[in-house]
């Protein structure tokens, strides 16, 4: 496990796009710079063992804490620079989640950091919401390769903030916390962000807080070590649907019901799909 030198707020990134309307949180994050065609060939050849990357290069592309294995809150380096959210299961297979706009298609290979200096192709996209990824409709699941799980392990615990433990099914305002691998203006290497969600619907939720490109897909909790509410997908949202919110994500309850999976909690227990009765965000 490695910890970057700073834990700071990413307010500047939100300010840069504050006048441009809704923007995906990974906008501007390309795949890691070391993901060249020759690297893709190396990854394919090495299989579950992965490929070693110089520490400085991996720290630059994946700032922050990386728990061992295919991890909740882990760093995704391709097909886009994003953050994983939680670990899921359907009883037969294991999955790791991210945002829909971080992937392109079903069957696409996803590459993640699996330890301090190693990346590996951890699996392929198996589920995703339709469209290009809108607030409240922006989630994808990557089916974890059993060989990768056997080689590196699967870790359901979020780095730094702990959890998840259960899911939030309420409709009222709630504190929110997320940890992502994003960076940008005024962003140090890894950080915990916190805010207050005041627009909570069945499909999505919006909050006032801070985020950065590369945080996209990261898991959001309603308390450190506590219940999951959803993922983080957008920096600036439609003020008509989410008045006062400058960040938004999709509810985990909707994603779990849509994909037929259970959340794997940090302690290894599972929480099954559940419903909410908050109404959908106005269009």
pLDDT score of 15 more than 70: no
Average pLDDT, the chain: 87
Per-residue pLDDT of 150-178, as tens digits, reads 999 999 999 989 999 999 999 999 999 99
pLDDT in the model for residue 190 = 58
pLDDT tens digit sequence for 117-161: 999 999 999 999 998 888 899 999 999 999 999 999 999 999 989
pLDDT of residue 183: 66
Q: How far, in Å, CA of 77 to CA of 132, rounded?
A: 19
What pLDDT was estimated at residue 23? Answer: 66
- In this prediction the pTM is 0.89
pLDDT at position 141, please?
98
Predicted pLDDT of residue 45: 96
Q: Regarding predicted confidence, which is higher, 128 or 6?
A: 128
| 23-24 and 234-236 strand pairing | antiparallel
pLDDT of residue 11: 26
Taking the C-alpha atoms of residue 189 and residue 212, their distance in angstroms, rounded to an integer, is 12
CA dihedral 40, 134, 65, 113 (to 10 degrees): -10
pLDDT in tens, 230-247: 999 998 776 678 898 999
pLDDT at position 187 over 50:
no
Query: Residue 89 — pLDDT band, cuts 50, 70, 90?
Result: very high
Per-residue model confidence (pLDDT) at position 5: 29
Least confident of 20-29, 70-79, 149-158: 20-29
Report pLDDT for 20. 36
- Strand (E) or helix (H) holding 262: strand 262-264
Are 124 and 104 in contact by the 8 Å Cβ rule? The answer is no
The tokens describing 117, both together, are 């200096």
């Amino acid at each position: 496990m490695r910890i970057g030198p700073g834990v700071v707020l990413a307010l500047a990134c939100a300010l840069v796009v504050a006048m441009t309307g809704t923007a995906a949180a990974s906008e501007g994050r390309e795949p890691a710079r070391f993901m060249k065609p020759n690297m893709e060939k190396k990854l394919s050849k090495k299989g579950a063992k992965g490929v070693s990357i110089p520490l400085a290069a991996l720290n630059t592309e994946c700032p922050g804490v990386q728990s061992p294995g295919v991890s909740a809150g882990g760093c995704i380096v391709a097909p886009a620079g994003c953050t994983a959210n939680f670990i899921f299961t359907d009883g037969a297979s294991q999955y790791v989640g991210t945002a829909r706009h971080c992937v392109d298609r079903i069957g696409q290979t996803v590459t993640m950091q699996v330890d301090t200096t190693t990346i590996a192709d951890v699996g392929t996209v198996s589920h995703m919401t339709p469209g290009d990824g809108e607030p409240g409709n922006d989630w994808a699941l990557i089916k974890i390769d059993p060989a990768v799980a056997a080689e590196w392990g699967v870790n359901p615990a979020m780095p730094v903030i702990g959890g998840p433990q259960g899911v939030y099914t309420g409709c009222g305002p709630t504190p929110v916390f997320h940890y992502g691998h994003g960076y940008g203006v005024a962003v140090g290497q890894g950080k915990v962000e916190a805010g207050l969600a005041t627009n909570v619907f069945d499909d999505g939720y919006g909050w006032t807080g801070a985020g950065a490109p590369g945080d996209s897909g990261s898991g959001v909790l309603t308390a450190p070590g506590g219940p999951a509410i959803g993922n983080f997908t957008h920096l600036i949202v439609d003020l008509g649907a989410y008045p006062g919110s400058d960040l938004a994500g999709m509810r985990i309850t909707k994603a779990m019901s849509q994909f037929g999976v259970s959340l794997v909690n940090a302690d290894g227990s599972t929480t099954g799909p559940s419903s909410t009765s908050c109404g959908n965000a106005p269009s």
